[in-house]
Amino acid sequence: MLVEERFSEILRVLDQQETATVQDLTNLLGVSESTIRRDLTQMNKRGLLKKVHGGAASIRINHITANRVSAVRALENTDTKQRLAQYAASLISQEDFVFIDSGTTADLLIDALTVTNCHFVTNNISSAPKLAMSGNHVDVLGGTLDPTISATIGIDTYYELKKYNFTLGFFGVNGIHSRNGFSTPYSADAMVKQEAIQRCKKSYIIADPTKFDSIANVTFAMLSDATIITTKVPDKYWHSVASIIETDVLLNE
């Protein structure tokens, strides 16, 4: 069994029972105790588990089962979100064809835009008028309105997306996890995010650090599918993410 296969099996066991002894894992995987101890040491260094005396324990994961209304979320981590939005806005040029997802950070991104006469597509109902008034062209996707995120979602929104090919896409997220990827509470929202990411030449997830080690109900993309824009990344995520931009590091250089 390869090292990464052992890691995956150890994490599966910890997901089921939260703790496991070295002897339990030795019997399960059919390898020596010294091999298991080395595996646990490496996994502990990568932040995949917590090594304890005689075995390992699962790292506490925040499970998110529902969205809170956008007005409440807009008041959280405001300074961090503004820094992330300003950096994201700086990536957009007039030649781009851009998808903007729902979410409070997307609202701040629009406030930070300096481009005009750029073409945007969005399902973000609350931000669309402001985006149009900034001097840019805006297509708004139809679909079922979800008032908690002020966005259209569902099968109609999904099919509308299929005609577009974006140069850039910016997405909100509820959970980021090293094995479960990017997730959101509802399948109708996940369907839209998944299709939009697939239709972008370059996709960015805008997320404050509180989103790491969280899992929502539905995965819409894996960590290799998008670049994360954030202020601080837990060390273990550098092994699994395609690309990461730490805005605070860039600002301090």
- pLDDT given at position 72: 42
Domain boundary among 36, 60, 84: 60
Give the mean pLDDT of 132-138. Answer: 93
Same-domain pairing of 231 and 116: yes
CATH code at 50?
Answer: 1.10.10.10
Same-domain pairing of 51 and 118: no
Q: What is the mean pLDDT of the chain?
A: 87
Count of domains in the chain? 2
Q: Is 138 within 8 Å of 156 (Cβ atoms)?
A: no
Question: What is the rounded distance in angstroms from the CA atom of residue 123 to the CA atom of residue 113?
Answer: 18
Same-domain pairing of 70 and 185: yes
Same-domain pairing of 121 and 36: no
Same-domain pairing of 46 and 81: no
CATH code at 162?
Answer: 3.40.50.1360
- Per residue in 58-68, pLDDT (tens digit) is 876 677 876 65
- Per residue in 221-233, pLDDT (tens digit) is 999 999 999 988 8
- pLDDT given at position 178: 81
Question: What is the rounded distance in angstroms from the CA atom of residue 132 to the CA atom of residue 89?
Answer: 15
Choice among 47-56, 130-139, 142-151, 159-168 with the minimum mean pLDDT: 47-56
Same-domain pairing of 42 and 129: no
pTM of the model: 0.74
Count of other CB atoms within 10 angstroms of residue 131: 24
Question: What is the rounded distance in angstroms from the CA atom of residue 120 to the CA atom of residue 106?
Answer: 12
Strand partners, 246: 230
Among 101, 141, 237, which Cα is nearest to 246's? Answer: 237
Joined tokens for residue 225: 């599918």
Task: Give the range of the structural domain holding residue 56, as residue numbers without chain letter.
Answer: 3-60
Q: Which of 113-117, 182-186, 195-199, 208-212 has the highest mean pLDDT?
A: 195-199
- pLDDT given at position 184: 92
Count of other CB atoms within 10 angstroms of residue 118: 20
- Per residue in 142-164, pLDDT (tens digit) is 999 998 888 999 999 999 999 99
- Given a cut of 50, is residue 251 above it in pLDDT? no
% of the chain surpassing 70 pLDDT? 90
